Structure 1
Amino acid sequence: MPETTEPATASSPATIPVTLVAGYLGAGKTTWLNRHLRAGVTPGTLVLVNDFGAINVDAELIDYRGDRLLSLDNGCLCCSLSDALGAQLSRIARWPEPPTALIIETSGVALPGRIADMVRVARQYHLASIVTLVDLGALPRHRRDDRIADLVEIQIAAADRLSFNREDRLGPDELASARTWLASINPHATHEPRASDSQTAEPGDTDIETVDAGEAEPRAPRFLARRTGLLDAPNWQRFTCQLPAMAERDALETLLARHAGAVARAKGFLQVDNRHFIFHWSGGRASWTPTAPRAGAGQLVGIGFAGTELDALLDALAELSTSPRDERSPRDH
């Protein structure tokens, strides 16, 4: 059955408007969400962060009231999504004081249309909007990668709004080609302004509070014309390991770079040279952001493509790790 996206619909004021924030791994969803939260959202808005790992790194990076931020770990991988997210939505609706609006930051491997369908069938909620983040710098590579090309396309096609970043990593011809392709995949979505440098894009001037209030103009249903069956999902495999304090960053970066083709995303809380960092690996690039000290060993979570190359990486990480090999997750779809 083709992946579809129904329009936002008018609904009773008693129902909770839901905004989905989607986009492939490393597209900049958390940074985009932080900027909108700091700009101001409807009082009483609840944020639900659905991450792929055993530790929810994204939730800890979001600058929002603790009692209005919930994390859902190990989610958004095929069937595990329905039970965990569905149960969480049901519990939220039964709160003595339910939220006035709900923003869900989806995992980078999620199909937003499936989550939207869950929202539509829940009587206490209505879908306000789907915002998809697009890393323009990585888009040509994603389109060439048969393992994820369909997923990225579906995430873009599902959106009411598209927000772009890293435009400056493309040449003029590549950028023109990307714009043409995006218009062919989703001609209906509104576009937010792009960033002028290589950092994650700033959100546009469309206020998420307006969307949360259920005022978005309904759009015609969109169908992914090329779809003739269910998405042939990648053979995802998650992994988790504990890493002791390291003397330098190069050892981990070298390992990930050597096996970059097998790793879609990695992140965690690590200690290097007596300093604590939030670590991110995406698109073959590493970033280390200083953070407050954390007790215990460093933790690294990741998601990649099951196979011999990922196994080789996990073997190498095990040599650095203080945790046993059996912490690996089994095949996740």
Structure 2
Amino acid sequence: MRITKFANVALVAASLAMFGAGTASAADADWKKSLVFGGGSLGGVYYTVAGAISDLVQQKVEGIDRVSTITGSTTLFIPQIQENKVDIMLGTPDSMYFGWSAEAGLGFDKDERYDKLRVAGVAYINIMDLVVLKESGFGKIEDIADGRVGVLSATLKVPMELYLKAHGIEDPQVTIIGDWNQMAQALRDGSIAAMQGISTHPTPAITELGNAVDLQLLSYSSDAAVKDFLSNPTTRFFQKAVQPAGTYDWQTEDYATIGRGTTVIVSADLPDDEVYAIVKTIYENTDALKKVHPSAADFTTAMVQEYLDAGVIQIPFHPGARRYFEEQGVKIPDSVPAAE
């Protein structure tokens, strides 16, 4: 797993132009020629990566004339895939599962199904940093005895509580602070003992805070604690991850933690050969994509296998994507549902 810095989306066209166009064979007549890519919030990593993929596919896949990247949220794009208004999107494995399945969760009601969602690939893992002041003297998670941890959103509150409970903190006091800068200030003034960041790293707010005060990261204490956390139905879509030394100037060692992944989702209505061409183009042009955003270096078949081995892919692969990955030696377990 690699953690990388943000790159400007304005580099997309220049970076991809070096690689030419038209690497895929001519399309079948039933291909959809104009695609819509749900790319997340403007300026975010999802939007940047989606824009890079859109330009790459438009330039290199013969038979696809246009790929438009639009802004929005996962909860907006999932119904739009069902309605054939969106063809491709990015999202977390858990949101995709609860959207696809009849199980209630993450705002989806029981029996509310969007059964056209299909996996076409995976990307970077959003790493969880648990940051404390170095002067706190904390050496392990259990030292945060009262569990005063700040998180950015309501969707991260319960996972953080479960993570702390798995480490023996019985009554964690997790606070939602919906702004990076406010959370950093709360850590500095002692309102919270630790701040949680689930993101691509380095995160600018953490970098800035580290320039002002000495920081450190708290790794999980034991495999047993992580196993307990990952076995919980609420947090089963998280997985182990390692943030390499040097991600921040003050981080001198590899950091063992957890994270939540990123999946590429396509509509089940797209033809198999078209999806095969799209997936092949993405995974065989990583050098072009990572010039736009270095986290795109994680578009590898090894990362696909990592997600599968962690058991976090629980919706079907699109047959076109499945064919490509199996040709590359990826082992897809029986726990992944077959396409309907």
Flag whether TM exceeds 0.5 (same fold).
Answer: no
| Structure with more relative contact order (C-alpha pairs < 8 Å, separation 6 or more) | 2
Between structure 1 and structure 2, the one with the greater Rg is: 2
Greater per-residue helix proportion: 2
Greater per-residue strand proportion: 1
TM-score (normalised: structure 2): 0.31
TM-score (normalised: structure 1): 0.31
